[in-house]
Structure 1
Amino acid sequence: MSDFDLIVIGAGAAGLSVAAGAAQLGVSVALIERARMGGDCLNTGCVPSKALLAAAHAARSIRQAARFGVLADPPAIDWDRVRTHVQGVIEDIAPVDSEPRFRALGATVLRGEARFTDPATISVDGRTLIARRYVIAAGSRAAVPPIEGLDQIPYWTNDSLFDLIEKPDHLLILGGGPIGLEMADAFNGLGCRVTVIEANRIAAREDPELADGLRRTLTTRGVAIREGVKVTAVAPGPVLSLADGTRIEGSHLLIATGRTPNLAALNLAAGNIQAGPAGIATDRGLRSLTNKRVFAVGDIADPAGIGPRAFTHVGSYHAGLIIRRLLFRLPAKVDYAALPRVTYTDPELAQTGLTEAEAVTGGLDVQVLRWPLSDNDRAVAERDTAGLAKLVVHRNRVVGAGILAPHAGEMISQWTLAVAQRTKLSALAGLIIPYPTRAEAAKRAVGSYFAPKLFSARTKTLVRLLSRLP
């Protein structure tokens, strides 16, 4: 006999969503967590980073108020109060992810380390448990590269950064992905010197044209960005030695070079669960390839070899698929064709679907539609015109969209729906959008698709003929 119908390992975003849905549907479910409820997102990721960015953007708004004729003294940063603000945001959201809430939903919450002892059994701090199905949602942690000397100096990752007691004088950030760029923007806005070192280019997954715009904005604000160069060694200071022979000294070092799945403690070999550097190998329905009792969700899942997608909203998406497949026995497969992602700098860089390069590499005959924020009335009114809306079109349908603009993350959803539903451009052109909003920019891009035909000589001739009718 099984102790539970379902055991969920990990109380981060993905695991919590699975457990909440299953418990509310009357399933006997146990939720196991070895550390803090809420996982990375609540405690060291999405929530604290956005709270810190909010403080930075508030300070930057004060510095830039003169552009509106509003004169203000330069802001003074009280680092202790900033930290209190960040921790307060975590505390405000924590009850939603708490043990009492999940117990009230009907789940059994167990605190401890879960390890497989055989393909059907796990041990939690010495207690043996059996379930009909397991969902592994153990998440990921910061990946630390093997750099000479790094183990000899103090450094920070997102797991420890928000406990930083002193405000950095000069923050060195190793990695120019979303975490690195968001923290560069945050600490720059809070008055710190910031240098970003990236072996490739910043925002490497994003459309280069949009990344260029973000780079210009960050460097204009004073963020130093070094791209295409590797760090070969680290010395106390910290001092970074680069492959081109230069050295950079700072006061603090943040490692933001990606994520790695939390596999080691699970004893997956005993559970006959195949895994690799990218995570637990699953089919497109998130089921283990080697143990049919087991499913994986969130950062730790590698469905059909396409790699993990380390976003909180992907964890929630995975949870919905698991509920459909396990509880309702409905077919459900991962589909990332219209997966949105956002880098929460100011301006934000949001993308969904294919980038221009991805579409071309995939053999699609595409047309690219653009509309700059400099030609958007809301952006002009707010004296903040850096940015661009960019649509990738194939056969009269949007297959990808990218937006660089303030609050672009709030604007990308309609284009995610357009990509997912394969909406025709004619329908999008008829969409009524409030004026003045930055959201108009992408619609204006759609309009540029029809403009050549609408204002062609042939159309003008037709209009002249029609005007003669009574």
Structure 2
Amino acid sequence: MALQWKLRIEGMTCEHCEVSVRRALESAGARNVQADFRRGEAVFEAEETADPERWREAIRKAGYRPGELSLLGRVGSVEAVSQERPVHGRTRRDAYDLVIVGSGSAAFAAAIRARDLGARVLMVEAGTLGGTCVNVGCVPSKFLLRAAEVYHLARHHGYAGIPTQAGPVDWRALVAQKDELVRALRKEKYADLVELYGWELVQGRAQFVDAETLAVDGRTVRASAYIVATGASPAVPPIEGLVEAGYLTSTTAMELEALPTSLAVIGANAIGLEMGQLFARLGVRVTLIEIMPRIAPFEEPEVSEALAAALQEEGIEVLTAAQVRRVERTPVGKRLWVQVGGELRSLEVADVLVATGRRPNTEGLGLDQAGVKTDRRGAIVVDEFMQTTNPRVWAAGDCTGSPQFVYVAAYEGTVAAENALGSDRRRVDLSVVPRITFTTPTVAAVGLTEAQARAQGYEVRTTVMPVAVLARAWVNRDTRGLFKLVADAATDRLLGVHVVADNAGEVIYAAQLALQAGLRVGDLAATLAPYLTMAEGLRLAAQSFGRDVARMSCCAG
């Protein structure tokens, strides 16, 4: 009968050392050797009758120092019977220090941090490795948005004496290139890291059987702690006939075989706006339908107005305060019945894209059996430490009620891992979270809106500065957009920054740092801003509280 052993080994410093240790142990009769230089150990199998001194001697001959030897159990047994002191509270019954369900940004951040802390980690993924961002979210959508922008600029760049032309779009070639990029990044930023950091990855569907045990496709797994990081998926509104007629989501739209001639986008927040402009710039006739009184309804009203004007200028139809009542299939596409004010209008399109938010992927995980509470949307309820109602289970990322941004998910995954493994007791701080909508012009914001600031009891003062004040905008031949700053009138402290402009996503990071540092408007106005940058708008907007910056020379401070 084969047994599984763990041998502590001193002197390993790199992956080459792992190879040397593996070969040494194999020469002494060990099998399935997994050496880990970060943890300073090797786990391997050997027959019950094997002589442990042979392994030690082989390690010494290879130039390393053997340490404590521990019996983990019989091969094929899930539960460890470790003879050593438990790591991070792992008991004799627990095979792992940490089991992570999911493999997206939150999951990978948690796994990397856990391995840094020396934990034995298992990751379970039911679908494609890498989660939303690299596979069907940030990466492919921004690739296609950039391609659409280049195509648009080839026809509309605004510079005299520079003739350009754009031929027909080869959508299949573009999608193939997108898929190639996704595969490359998935390998480099996800698959390769599993081996590099040395955690175990299992493909399968995980479900809690009780508060302390997970089942993975029939296999029983136990750990001292669990992190659920299963992400979210597109939500579909209950519109009559929508399911029967068929619809696209942000995921399936990027996999189309051909571009539709026309497209109705239901929902005009970040995803709907990005998808709408993307397809419009590739020649699709697009109608945006938003149930709220304005597009980008959670941004400042001035932001919504500026962006709507820019999109309409590009030929996109924008319907606000509009509710889709019914969808039906026609011989050539779809017909939508849309309530706009008191009028019921029909809209004929080739296809429909639903962009009405995302729902947490928590069904089928057995959370009830584990004593993990979810809210009415299915989001896992966590405290400020990312711990659920089961003290053994943590959660991170889009499957919780947190803002659904990849950088928030990664941050929460790191914090959850540290807290789950007992290395720290960190609180999650989401008081200053930037957000970006990657349209052209780009929308970026951080901090409070004017309405939010007033609701929190601040006496507010604001300024709105048109992008046309900036020489950078003139050089770019695109003066659309604005900067809006929100400040506390009593202390002059900056409370929020809202930008519609080219490269607003790059600008907003400086604004985030300003808010985190508690800067006052005067501090921002007194900074040195590099000239002919869009970021200079932060300084000029701060100065505009006290003077008309349109009446200043280009570089005057």
- The alignment status of 1:380 with 2:471, answered yes or no, reads no
| Among candidates 525, 533, 538, match of residue 442 of structure 1 | 538
1:30 shift after superposition:
0.7
1:100-179 alignment, distance < 5 Å: 100-179=192-271
- The alignment status of 1:280 with 2:380, answered yes or no, reads yes
Alpha-carbon distance in structure 1 between the residues aligned to 2:390 and 2:417: 19
1:66-99 deviations in whole A, cap 9, x for unaligned? 5333112244211112112221221231123433
1:104 shift after superposition:
2.6
What letter matches 2:449 in structure 1? Answer: T
Gaps (5+ residues) in structure 1?
303-307, 456-470
**Cα separation, partners in 2 of 1:211 and 1:400, compared to 1, 3 Å:** same
What letter matches 1:57 in structure 2? Answer: E
1:103 shift after superposition:
2.6
1:61-460 alignment, distance < 5 Å: 61-200=153-292, 201-236=294-329, 237-243=333-339, 244-278=343-377, 279-288=379-388, 290-302=389-401, 308-327=402-421, 329-394=423-488, 395-451=491-547
Q: Which has the larger radius of gyration?
A: 2
Q: Which moved more, 1:150-159 or 1:338-347?
A: 150-159
The root-mean-square deviation of aligned C-alpha atoms, in Å, is: 1.6
What letter matches 1:406 in structure 2? Answer: D
1:435-462 deviations in whole A, cap 9, x for unaligned? 111111111011123449xx9xxxxxxx
1:100 shift after superposition:
4.0
Alpha-carbon distance in structure 2 between the residues aligned to 1:17 and 1:66: 43
Q: Which moved more, 1:438-447 or 1:340-349?
A: 438-447
Q: Secondary structure in 2 aligned to 1:231? A: strand
1:287-331 deviations in whole A, cap 9, x for unaligned? 10x2001111001113xxxxx311111101212322443346433
Which residue number corresponds to residue 46 of structure 2? none
8 Å Cα contact 1:260-1:277 kept in structure 2:
no
| Among candidates 120, 124, 130, match of residue 32 of structure 1 | 124
Q: Secondary structure in 2 aligned to 1:165? A: coil
TM-score by length of 2: 0.78
1:150 shift after superposition:
1.2
Q: Secondary structure in 1 aligned to 2:381? A: strand
8 Å Cα contact 1:16-1:97 kept in structure 2:
no
1:269 shift after superposition:
0.7
Alpha-carbon distance in structure 1 between the residues aligned to 2:429 and 2:301: 24
1:386 shift after superposition:
0.4
Alpha-carbon distance in structure 1 between the residues aligned to 2:443 and 2:466: 14
Alpha-carbon distance in structure 1 between the residues aligned to 2:238 and 2:159: 46
Alpha-carbon distance in structure 2 between the residues aligned to 1:130 and 1:399: 46
1:360-418 deviations in whole A, cap 9, x for unaligned? 12111111123211110010111100011111111211111111011111110111111
1:39-79 deviations in whole A, cap 9, x for unaligned? 11111111111011011100111111353331122442111
1:147 shift after superposition:
1.1
1:173 shift after superposition:
0.7
8 Å Cα contact 1:297-1:319 kept in structure 2:
yes
Alpha-carbon distance in structure 2 between the residues aligned to 1:330 and 1:448: 44
Q: Which moved more, 1:324-333 or 1:434-443?
A: 324-333
8 Å Cα contact 2:494-2:518 kept in structure 1:
yes
Q: Which moved more, 1:326-335 or 1:402-411?
A: 326-335
Q: Which moved more, 1:316-325 or 1:353-362?
A: 316-325
What letter matches 1:262 in structure 2? Answer: N
**Structure 1 ranges of 4+ moved more than 4 A:** none
Alpha-carbon distance in structure 1 between the residues aligned to 2:215 and 2:361: 17
8 Å Cα contact 1:141-1:262 kept in structure 2:
yes
Alpha-carbon distance in structure 1 between the residues aligned to 2:282 and 2:508: 28
Q: Which moved more, 1:94-103 or 1:53-62?
A: 94-103
8 Å Cα contact 1:10-1:32 kept in structure 2:
yes
Higher relative contact order (CA 8 A, sep 6+): 1
8 Å Cα contact 1:337-1:354 kept in structure 2:
no
What letter matches 1:286 in structure 2? Answer: M
Alpha-carbon distance in structure 1 between the residues aligned to 2:183 and 2:231: 21
1:119-159 deviations in whole A, cap 9, x for unaligned? 00000000000111111001111100111111212211122
Alpha-carbon distance in structure 1 between the residues aligned to 2:104 and 2:463: 39
Q: Which moved more, 1:388-397 or 1:50-59?
A: 388-397
Alpha-carbon distance in structure 1 between the residues aligned to 2:149 and 2:223: 47
Gaps (5+ residues) in structure 2?
1-92, 552-557
Which residue number corresponds to residue 30 of structure 2? none
| Among candidates 18, 42, 45, match of residue 110 of structure 2 | 18
What letter matches 1:181 in structure 2? Answer: L
Q: Secondary structure in 2 aligned to 1:399? A: strand
Q: Secondary structure in 1 aligned to 2:369? A: coil
1:4-58 deviations in whole A, cap 9, x for unaligned? 1001110011111111221233211111110011111111111111011011100
